[in-house]
Amino acid sequence: DVSISNTCSSSVPKRTDVNNAGGSVLDDHTHPSGSLLHADSHSWSIRRGHVTDAFIPLLTFLESGGGAADATITDGLDVYDAPAVQAFWAKALERRTTDPDGAVTAASTLLEEICKHIIEDSGAKWEAKWNVPKLYSEAAKVLKLAPSQHQEEVFKTILGNCQSVVQSIGSLRNKGGDAHAGGRSRVPFKPRHAALTVNLAGSMALFLIETWQARVEEQRISDQ
């Protein structure tokens, strides 16, 4: 896993590569013919500078190790005004490779935190003894995401699978995360296990938040 990660990260071009090596590559393919860019060397130098500037945001993002899914989920969670939610998501992302057990725990806690916030925001209350599956079940009812609240079989199946994902993430936390001692029989998670768990938790978290925001907007419109 580590070797794969290192290989992927080393294959990402740095900004200096674009300035030093990238220019000659572009020169080889576009400059000699003059069909794509003006043949004048000064003119090409200016254009090459524009190309480099245009790619800097992308390269910065790639160098940071983030992915498209990470950015989408992060942006979605940032809109939801709950610092604890953003904190657990950031922790889950940071630990995927270096601390897989901790990443799994953070992923489960992220879902727990979001469910509690949604329940509270709806005016209901949650109980301290509730585990992650129970919290999700109650939040799903608030959001009308419980399988029993739908008639179409395809929706019931999808929402039932969402429920299973959350329940499984909670089980992973209890069996292999760092929330509890595991004894001699405990098998630590690999980075790929943590990545899958964190990505699933992040996707579910974003879905819950966007659904809550949609419900709030629907209520606002109906109250007008």
pTM: 0.66
The segments of the chain whose pLDDT lies below 70 read: 1-69, 176-186
**Helix (H) or strand (E) segment spanning residue 88:** helix 83-98
The confidence score (pLDDT) of residue 57 equals: 55
Residues 6+ apart with CB under 8 A from 29: none
Burial of residue 136 (number of CB atoms within 10 Å: 0-12, 13-18, 19+) = buried
The confidence score (pLDDT) of residue 82 equals: 78
The confidence score (pLDDT) of residue 55 equals: 59
* Mean predicted lDDT score pLDDT of the chain: 77
Task: Yes or no: say if 44 and 38 are a contact pair by the CB < 8 Å rule.
Answer: yes
Helix (H, G, I), strand (E, B) or coil at 146: coil
The model's pLDDT over 2-38, given as tens digits with 9 standing for 90+, comes to 444 444 444 444 444 444 444 443 444 444 444 444 5
The model's pLDDT over 90-114, given as tens digits with 9 standing for 90+, comes to 999 999 999 999 999 999 999 999 9
HSE-up of residue 62 (Cα within 13 Å, Cβ side):
13
